[in-house]
């Protein structure tokens, strides 16, 4: 059997050129024997292109999901920064309260410049009378920013799930099993067609070989008959001489002519 039946090499079919002298007669006959084979190959190629586009869509969706995760990480980091800032303010208020109590008891206050190494943002208050008000305003601002970021994230999710790209991708993902089954079915049909075509051509080649063998056997019979006639007449040239000097064909015996017709009928 020929390697032409390999289903994974269907793209190599379009590279065949009937004008190429190196192609075997068998493949040339296979390429021109049925128009339906070309239609099946076109369908196979279209499905392969569709599969490639689907893979590209899936890769784009994965990139979009990665981008969404990066946005989420950024939001979490900013929220953590706000929480650290709030914790730093609370720590500073507690330290100032302790220092104030020590001053009232006649003790030297601790250095107010001592900071919390774990805090990302340190806020220093110069007016203790407005400390509570400033703290409330800062907390209100942090809550507003957090709420705004949360709303933006919710809106992003909402808009993304209703975007044209997302809907088209979901539709393709839902249809992918059917498209994959259709592609597999088309490949199987194409494989069966190729196998049947190759089997047909093999049988045809075998039939031609049988005919050639019959013709060779008929030629041998005619040569034997001709040699027998020459030996009977005695004055005719030998078979080898007749191949170079013969100018016309002479039938001198009806029996040899009948033997030729009989040999043709064997074919």
Higher pLDDT pick, 130 / 16: 130
State yes or no: pLDDT of 66 exceeds 60.
yes
Report the pLDDT value the prediction gives residue 210, as an integer from 0 to 100. Answer: 92
Quickly state the pLDDT bin for 215 (edges 50, 70, 90): very high
* Average pLDDT of every residue of the chain: 69
Mean pLDDT on 143-150 = 82
For residue 230, give Cα distances in angstroms to 217, 236, 238, 251, 261. Answer: 20, 5, 7, 12, 20
The structural domains of the chain, with segments of one domain joined by +, span: 3-207, 213-266
* The model's pTM: 0.26
Quickly state the pLDDT bin for 239 (edges 50, 70, 90): low
From the list 78, 65, 15, the residue with the least C-alpha distance to 41 is 15
């Amino acid at each position: 059997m020929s390697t032409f039946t390999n289903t994974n090499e269907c793209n190599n079919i379009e590279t065949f050129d009937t004008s190429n002298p190196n192609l075997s007669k068998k493949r040339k006959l296979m390429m021109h024997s049925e128009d339906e084979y070309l239609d099946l190959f076109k369908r196979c190629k279209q499905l392969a292109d569709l599969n490639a586009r689907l893979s590209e869509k899936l890769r784009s969706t994965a990139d979009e999901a990665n981008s969404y995760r990066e946005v989420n990480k950024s939001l979490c980091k900013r929220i953590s920064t706000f929480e650290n800032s709030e914790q730093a303010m609370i720590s500073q208020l507690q330290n100032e309260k302790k220092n104030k109590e020590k001053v009232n008891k006649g003790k030297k206050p601790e250095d107010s410049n001592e900071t919390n190494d774990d805090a990302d943002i340190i806020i220093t208050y110069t007016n203790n009378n407005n400390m509570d008000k400033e703290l409330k305003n800062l907390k209100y601002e942090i809550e507003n920013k957090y709420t705004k970021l949360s709303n933006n994230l919710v809106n992003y999710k909402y808009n993304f799930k209703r975007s044209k790209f997302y809907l088209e991708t979901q539709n393709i993902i839902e249809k992918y099993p059917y498209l994959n089954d259709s592609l597999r079915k088309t490949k199987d049909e194409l494989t069966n067609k190729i196998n049947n075509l190759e089997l047909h051509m093999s049988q045809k080649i075998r039939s031609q070989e049988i005919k050639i063998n019959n013709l060779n056997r008929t030629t041998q019979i005619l040569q034997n008959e001709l040699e027998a006639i020459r030996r009977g007449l005695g004055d005719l040239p030998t078979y080898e001489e007749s191949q170079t000097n013969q100018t016309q064909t002479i039938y001198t015996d009806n029996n040899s002519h009948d033997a030729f017709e009989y040999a043709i009928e064997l074919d």
